[in-house]
């Protein structure tokens, strides 16, 4: 049993924290909203007054926050993690942020004797709930080995991919592939529907072949039901793709397909669909083709 602090109890963070409690860890939690704190406290956690307070009571602190500025504020800011941290504390940032920010935060943490891993996740809310997330980790091998059991309480896999920042580079690669898979799926199913072919039967016919994927299996049933409840919101995928584009341009990698899907998501945002699940990318194609991909009655 480890003394763990958890900061950020959103769509992903709350079920991840609950799984750590189920695994028998001693949890102190903090969020800017009170409602999720109450829920996690009811499951056995203790409420912290601030990120600083959480860090002061913990040997490991996990952050699960929306974007780079949120992580910097929670860790480096007033009443942040580093103000309460004792030397030897391990900070695991499981947010999806810019790799350069991970390196910046880790460098500041190091000055206080705090070791950091960047460990973003893939799998969305369903896999956060059933503790089967894929976790991509950047940092020192010896630090990773100290907390591997903690990560495995939240995910089915935790892979050390390289030095600090590597976890978020891997997550950006993941997000590019997922976005483009959903776009390809959307184009194909709109084509099938407009051509008069049942999209559900198309899915059944192709899912076992080379075109089959976890994305297809997860998203097609939701699209067929017209269910675009997140999941993983389009606005968050936009954030990840913005980080992917910035990182790609910094290192000199042209990413034309990523630029294209980013503009599709931006169009959906302008259309008031930023809060939809990213499976809602199909709505961009549906609007153009004037047809809906739905389960046939």
Q: Is 143 in the same domain as 231?
A: no
Q: Report, as an integer, the average pLDDT of 206-226.
A: 97
Could you give the 3-state DSSP secondary structure of residue 116? strand
Q: Report, as an integer, the average pLDDT of 144-172.
A: 98
pTM of the model: 0.91
Tokens matching residue 270: 């302008």
Q: Report, as an integer, the average pLDDT of 246-257.
A: 96
**Range(s) of the domain holding residue 36:** 3-164
Task: Say whether 297 is catalytic.
Answer: no
CATH label of the domain that carries residue 156: 3.40.50.720
* Residue 86 DSSP symbol: P
Separation CA 7–CA 1 (nearest Å): 19
Domain-terminating residue out of 111, 140, 164: 164
Q: Report, as an integer, the average pLDDT of 263-279.
A: 98
**296 falls in which pLDDT band (50, 70, 90)?**
confident
Per DSSP, helices labelled H in the chain are: 13-22, 34-42, 51-56, 68-76, 81-84, 99-111, 124-129, 141-152, 166-194, 199-206, 214-224, 234-251, 256-270, 282-289
Q: Is 117 in the same domain as 179?
A: no
Would 145 be classed as within a structural domain? yes
pLDDT in tens, 107-127: 999 999 999 999 999 988 889
Give the model's pLDDT for residue 125: 87
Q: Which of 52, 171, 219, 239 is catalytic?
A: 171
Give the model's pLDDT for residue 126: 87
Instruction: Give me the DSSP letters along 220-283.
Output: HHHHHTT----SSBHHHHHHHHHHHHHHHHHHT---HHHHHHHHHHHHHHHTT-TTSBGGGGHH
- Which backbone phi and psi does 96 adopt, to 5 degrees? -100, 105
Q: Is 141 in the same domain as 88?
A: yes
> Over pLDDT 90: what percentage of the chain?
96
- The answer to whether 136 and 167 have CB atoms below 8 angstroms apart is yes
Q: Report, as an integer, the average pLDDT of 44-51.
A: 97
Q: Is 153 in the same domain as 253?
A: no
Give the model's pLDDT for residue 297: 74
Distance of alpha carbon 23 from the chain centroid: 21
Give the model's pLDDT for residue 10: 94
Q: Is 156 in the same domain as 25?
A: yes
**154 falls in which pLDDT band (50, 70, 90)?**
very high
């Amino acid at each position: 049993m480890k003394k763990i602090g958890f900061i950020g109890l959103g769509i992903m963070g709350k079920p991840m924290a609950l799984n750590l409690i189920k695994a028998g860890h001693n949890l102190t939690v903090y969020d800017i909203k009170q409602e999720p704190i109450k829920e996690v406290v009811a499951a056995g956690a203790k409420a912290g007054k601030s990120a600083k307070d959480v860090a002061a009571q913990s040997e490991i602190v996990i952050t699960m926050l929306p974007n780079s500025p949120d992580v910097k504020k929670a860790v480096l800011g007033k009443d942040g993690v580093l103000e309460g941290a004792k030397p030897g504390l391990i900070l695991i940032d499981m947010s999806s942020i810019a790799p350069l920010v991970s390196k910046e935060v880790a460098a500041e943490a190091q000055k206080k004797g705090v070791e950091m891993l960047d460990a973003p996740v893939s799998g969305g809310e369903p896999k956060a709930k059933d503790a089967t997330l894929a976790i991509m980790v950047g940092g020192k091998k010896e630090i990773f080995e100290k907390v591997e059991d903690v990560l495995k309480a939240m995910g089915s896999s935790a892979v050390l991919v390289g030095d600090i920042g590597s976890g978020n580079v891997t997550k950006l690669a993941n997000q590019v592939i997922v976005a483009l898979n959903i776009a390809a799926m959307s184009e194909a199913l709109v084509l099938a529907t407009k051509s008069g072919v049942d999209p559900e039967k198309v899915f059944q016919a192709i899912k076992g072949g080379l075109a089959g994927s976890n994305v297809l299996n997860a998203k097609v049933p939701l699209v067929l039901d017209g269910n675009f409840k997140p999941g993983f919101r389009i606005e968050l995928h936009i954030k990840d793709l913005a980080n992917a584009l910035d990182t790609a341009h910094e290192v000199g990698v042209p990413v034309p397909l990523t630029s294209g899907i980013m503009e599709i998501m931006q169009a959906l945002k302008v259309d008031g669909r930023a809060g939809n699940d990213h499976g809602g990318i199909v709505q961009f194609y549906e609007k153009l083709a004037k047809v809906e991909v739905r389960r046939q009655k």
